[in-house]
Amino acid sequence: MAGTITEANVEKYIYDILPARDAVLADMERLARQRDIPIIGPAVGRMIYLLAQICGAKRIFEMGSAIGYSTIWLAQAAGPRAEIYYTDGDPSNARRAKEFFERAGVEKRITAMTGDALALIDRTKGKFDLIFIDVDKHQYPAALRKALPRLKSGGLLLTDNTLWSGRVTRRAKDADTRGVQEFNKAVYSSKELFPVLIPLRDGVTVCRKG
């Protein structure tokens, strides 16, 4: 869960100071470590929880959700009247996520969909208060193009892994790094978004749509 952006002792401090998570989130963190499943981890989880509460998000779309760890943070922040869309391309991830949603008591506020998130958002009507991008990194520019028109004015666009273990600082030799670099340039040049790239874990970009 920890990234390589900050110094190791600072990274350790950030995670050591965190309060204990509830049993469901703790089990998900344990599973992620055991099976090398990418999740945002508790430091970023707390941040997106806070941001969702601050903006009063009730309608949320996640583009790439793995086992639903970030989904639970968002669902708990948004409350029982929320409408949250989980998406992942792996059916086994989706099955595990549904089990965790039931254990966490948030399953009624979550619609779980399996497939390409970029196609699934086209199949979902309406606009969103918050959209979270965490798909394959080469898809980031296309995900931004899909997400931006679907975000309400004043809504938040959150994107994980936008420092990509520091690879964004080097000349890209692969599609994933190029995708993240292109995404970062696009949000900072957008006239619709006000972005901030936060060097927490592997980098999280927070954008508000004007």
Give the pLDDT score at 1. 47
**What pTM value is reported for the model?**
0.96
Give the pLDDT score at 173. 87
- For residue 83, which of 145, 125, 47, 141 has the smallest C-alpha distance? 125
Q: Kindly report, residue by residue over 2-47, the tens digit of the pLDDT.
A: 456 888 899 999 999 999 999 999 999 999 999 999 999 999 999 9
Give the domain ranges of the chain: 8-209
Question: What span, in angstroms and rounded, lies between the C-alpha atoms of 208 and 186?
Answer: 14
Give the pLDDT score at 104. 98
- The contacts of residue 176 (CB under 8 Å, 6+ apart) are 136, 137, 138, 164
By CB neighbour count within 10 A (0-12 exposed, 13-18 middle, 19+ buried), where does 172 fall? middle
Give the pLDDT score at 3. 54
Q: Which parts of the chain have pLDDT scores under 70?
A: 1-4
One of 3.30.420.40, 3.40.640.10, 3.40.50.150, 1.10.1660.10 is the CATH number of 8-209, namely 3.40.50.150
